[in-house]
Chains A and B, each alone.
Chain A
Amino acid sequence: MSVSNVEDRMGLDNTLEEPGRRAPLIVGGNDFTSITEKVCGIVERPKPPKGWYVALGVSAMLMGMLFGLIGYLVLVGTGVWGLQIPVGWGFAIVNFVFWVGIGHAGTLISAILFLFRQKWRTSINRFAEAMTIFAVICAGVFPGIHVGRVWFAYWMFPLPNQMDMWPNFRSPLLWDVFAVSTYFTVSLLFWYLGMIPDLASLRDRAGTRVRQIVYGVLALGWRGANRHWQHYEKAYLLLAALATPLVLSVHSVVSMDFAVSQLPGWHTTIFPPYFVAGAIFSGFAMVVMLAVPAREWFGLKDVITLRHLENMNKVILATGSMVGYAYGMEFFIAWYSGNSFEGFAFLNRAMGPYAWAYWIMVSCNVITPQLFWVRKIRTSPWIMFFVVIFVNIGMWFERFVITVTSLSRDFLPSSWGYYSATWVDYGMLIGSFGLFFTLFLLFLRFGPMVAMAEVKTVLPEADPHHGQDEDHDHRELADEIGAPEDPVVVAGLKGAMPAGDKYGILVRFKSPAELMKAARKVRDAGFTRWDVHSPFPVHGMDRAMGLRSTKLPWLVLAGGITGCASAILLQWWTNAVDYPFLISGKPLFSLPANIPVAFELTILLAALATVGGVFMLMKLPRFHHPLFHSRRFRKVTDDRFFLCIKARDPKFDNEGTGAFVSTLGGDAAEWVEG
């Protein structure tokens, strides 16, 4: 295995492909310490850059405008929008679908790229997930206000009410409620679970009491224990496996809002995968659009490298081409079907009164991304910035074209009409960007915008075998990091044994490789109550410690089965038994129409079981722990590695174990009080 040497890591351009040798994902000579320093530094510095204040000010104003307009809408009624028969779905739905689509990139990066072992995801997944959460919030606003009487919005949920009615589970709009809320919940859990180790880094570095308490509470007492990492990594994998079909389902369900109808231009079988491709397309475009300025402002060019941007642009090219494929297929089948209404709907899109919107859509979505075939364009940050803006414009117009052109001219020419948006429509669209950017900018300032613990795992020195055969440059690096503070440790423990209760002995190491060696020794010595602590999961440590595999998957399976069964029961009982009513000729209990909600609840309960289960198995939150007495231990969320043998271990004896740990090769050791 090739280990990149220091020179290679100093260069900032890592886009050159050399077959057989993976390019470094992090450049600029970064190590564990500098990654923590860089990312936490953004949150800890007293003042953010001026540009941040300006951006936040503008965004907050626009957000205020959005809320003002919502107030106006609620007071006056939906007449303030441009909705008019035949176009009963306008900007609100267009904006909803647009924002939900944007919200697809985050979980795709965290989940699907994780399953595909795409390690480059680590630098961008955190803020892409944040973006997902905020985009889904923006999306959720629109159907909420579209119902007109927002105070009845809770009717969308299957809650018993005095009229003894239940929601209609055969309606795609209800599936949306389940799909979007499940997606929001699971994305939030995924995001938060991933953030816990980084919140612990912020806690351990906190300079003020307030920060220490806030980040301390949010970190739930995380201490990087390998007995935690073991469950945590499994939970992460399971959540990724659950989120992957979930991502696909959400925009599929959104597409069904249109596609289950009989309206020409809406009813076409390719809609679900086509919408998903479009969502990923626009989501990645938004990630690139945010990443280009963010890496510039916050000095993260060596963490979010050109290679990351290039890879994302390739995804944009691929998904943009899938969208182009779907456009072409729709057009071909519109003709091939011989259905004159279908044929007209598509000719009308391309040549009717909304042709301008159609051609904006085609040129932005199909033609613009093809620019990314050119290497120069997909590796130049500011050029790609403009390309992806066009992609986002195009994807908004796609939803406009689908929604409005089909409605404005349906089967009967006598009912045709033309939809024009009002100033309130435009104001709300712009305002929703204000909401999105306000939330996003606040996150950049107060949260860890790069997943530090995950980025550390892709550094070459995170490999526990690193430096075993060609290790001298690594040794030099290690020497720079710091000479052992306590040379005494080789001879024994520093300081006196505590008079009161002892928790155990804590030994510090400088690298995962040393920690791994020590763990094997402790395992072989027959200790049972001990653990290692590290800033990131060390590959192969479970085996080195001799841990048994986690029981978490069984909990998740149980959660999934419960979700599926309860969803089917719920839909059967509410729609076929308790409040039976016929709708669109569907059977009272119609299994196909119940599958979307059954799927969503399966995922939701399985995900809740994953997160609930992992906290149960890790016995977190636990805000106080004896190890937190140690000042040295604060580095466990930064760049140091620890091994702790507890005094409760049956093999523990004061002198013998003290002598034993000094053979482990650590650079410091201490007694921890109980």
Chain B
Amino acid sequence: MKDSIPTDVIQLGAAGSAMRMAALVVGVISLLGGWFLTGGGESGHDTFFRSYLVNFTFFLSIGLGALFFVMVGQLMRAGWNITVRRVAEGLASGLWMMMLLAVPVYLGRHSLFEWTHADVVAADPMLQHKAAWLNDNFFLIRLVAYFALWLLMTWYFTSRSTRQDVSGDPQLTLNMGKWAGPGVMLFAVTLSFASFDLLMSLAPHWYSTIFGVYYFAGAVVGSCAMLTLVVLIFQKMGKFGNLVNAEHYQDLGKLIFAFTVFWAYIGFSQYFLIWYANMPEETIWYLKRQTGQWTTVTLVLLFGHFMVPFLGLMSRHIKRNSVLLMLWASWMLLMHWLDMYWIVMPEFSAGVVPFGLADVLTFLGVGGIYLSGSLHFCCRHPLIPLEDPRLHEAIGFENA
């Protein structure tokens, strides 16, 4: 069977290289454009960095979610996902670019994090208490540590997987299965603290023990939606043949559906416990998001990120229909982006949704550069791990 697959079906080829180049060029130009068009000066840079952070955390979550997808598949010895796993490995490989893209977050910290201002900290006993954690140096050390660990995991799982393309050694599958366990544990801890550092500390007085799980839930929704979308696009470009078919799309759709519900569960848990206990130091965070125009955004999230897709993605016929699934995957990506926007922006713009050019340009910028990293990986390797010992399960499987 493997020999009968024509190579142009599993190689991105020239089209892929062109896409990678285009993504990179669009990314760099948009970022530069965003930087200069926001007008420069103190407030212009603030606008830029805030929009940048929204998009950085958005694409970071997609890379991390993809890494999770790869690791958890190895951990559970999954068979169904082998034909789409290489693309997920590609999305995880975009984390190499995210490392570079993390530099502006650190450089722009004064536009983002109140606790980086010595004068603010000096006047605030609470921030002095937290200074042991929330300080410039430790923040930088942690960022470096997160990326070092994420990239170590990405390197391990992608290099072993592509090595198997050549050797076909089943031992590599066993090794990946073995290291996926500690990998997932490390992933949970690093992702949680990264979400505390990058997002929760925007409101440095506020705290929520579930915040890391919330970011994780959104990350899996976003990355499954992105994976579905990329696979669908590649297939429209004539790749995969029938190695990826309605069965795989149905399963990807199930994952999007399941994690959409999980996101709602975690989001509700966080909101509900804070709402019920009604303690000012906690409710302030939601109060900002229920004031002025933000109320609308909150309701859009409630309906758009949960209720509507909950009903819309329930039917198996929709998950098996490539056009409808593509719409839903795009919609969920949009909603996950809005979720990040809703976490970041109300901290800087009370009552007003400050959507503007900077948001669009940093989206294109971060996204373009991130995707160029992913496409780089996808161009260099076959789109399907042809020598994976469980490949036949992915090809033959049917949803009962």
Contacts and interface: CB of A to CB of B under 8 A. Distances in A.
Interface stretch (B22-30, B53-61, B220-228, B272-280): B272-280
Interface in A164-191: none
A557 B381 CA distance: 45
Contact of B133 (A17, A271, A317, A336): A336
Contacts of B170: 18-20
A539 interface: yes
Contact of B275 (A17, A338, A373, A592): A592
A507 to B, nearest CB: 27
B257 to A, nearest CB: 10
B130 A272 contact: no
Contact of B277 (A233, A260, A273, A338): A260
Interface in A343-397: 373
Interface in B200-245: 205, 207-213
Interface string B116-134: 0000000000100110010
Given A329-B212, A338-B129, A592-B271, A260 B276 contact: yes
A539 B281 CA distance: 57
A269 B274 contact: yes
B122 to A, nearest CB: 16
A421 interface: no
B210 A267 contact: no
Contacts of A329: 192, 209, 212
A593 interface: yes
Contacts of B303: none
B181 A373 contact: yes
B276 A593 contact: yes
A245 interface: yes
Given A19-B174, A338-B130, A592 B272 contact: yes
Interface in B158-213: 170, 173-174, 177, 181, 185, 188-189, 192, 196, 205, 207-213
Given A333-B209, A336-B130, A338-B129, A19 B389 contact: yes
Interface string A244-277: 0100100010001001111000011111110000
A1 interface: yes
Contact of B265 (A248, A261, A337, A586): A248
B396 interface: yes
Contacts of A21: 389
A466 to B, nearest CB: 14
Interface string B273-296: 111111101000000000000000
Given A19-B170, A19-B173, A273-B266, A336 B207 contact: yes
A422 interface: no
A403 interface: no
A245 B192 contact: no
B310 to A, nearest CB: 11
Contacts of A321: 185
Given A1-B396, A260-B277, A269-B269, A20 B213 contact: no
B390 A20 contact: yes
Contacts of A630: none
A595 interface: yes
Interface residues of A, number: 42
B393 to A, nearest CB: 8
A592 B177 contact: no
Contacts of A539: 400
A33 interface: no
B392 interface: yes
Interface residues of B, number: 48
Nearest to B270: A269
A587 to B, nearest CB: 11
Contacts of B266: 273
A261 B273 CA distance: 8
A69 to B, nearest CB: 35
B268 interface: yes
A550 interface: no
A19 B178 CA distance: 12
B53 to A, nearest CB: 20
A586 B207 CA distance: 23
A17 B180 CA distance: 15
A85 B397 CA distance: 61
B209 A339 contact: no
B261 interface: yes
Contacts of B210: 269-270, 272-273
A592 B272 CA distance: 7
Contacts of B77: 17, 19
Interface string B356-400: 000000000000000000000000000000001111110010001
A449 B189 CA distance: 40
A477 B130 CA distance: 71
A284 to B, nearest CB: 16
Interface in A294-351: 317, 321, 325-326, 329-330, 333, 336-339
Contact of B273 (A117, A245, A269, A337): A269
18 contacts: A19-B173, A19-B174, A20-B388, A252-B265, A259-B273, A269-B209, A269-B273, A272-B210, A272-B265, A272-B269, A272-B273, A273-B269, A325-B188, A326-B209, A329-B209, A333-B209, A336-B133, A593-B276
Given A269-B274, A273-B265, A593-B276, 8 more contacts: A1-B396, A17-B174, A20-B388, A256-B276, A262-B277, A273-B210, A321-B185, A586-B276
Interface of B: 77, 80, 126, 129-130, 133, 170, 173-174, 177, 181, 185, 188-189, 192, 196, 205, 207-213, 261, 265-266, 268-279, 281, 388-393, 396, 400
Give 10 nearest A-B pairs by CB, closest first.
Answer: A20-B389, A270-B209, A19-B389, A19-B173, A260-B276, A269-B210, A272-B269, A270-B210, A19-B170, A337-B207
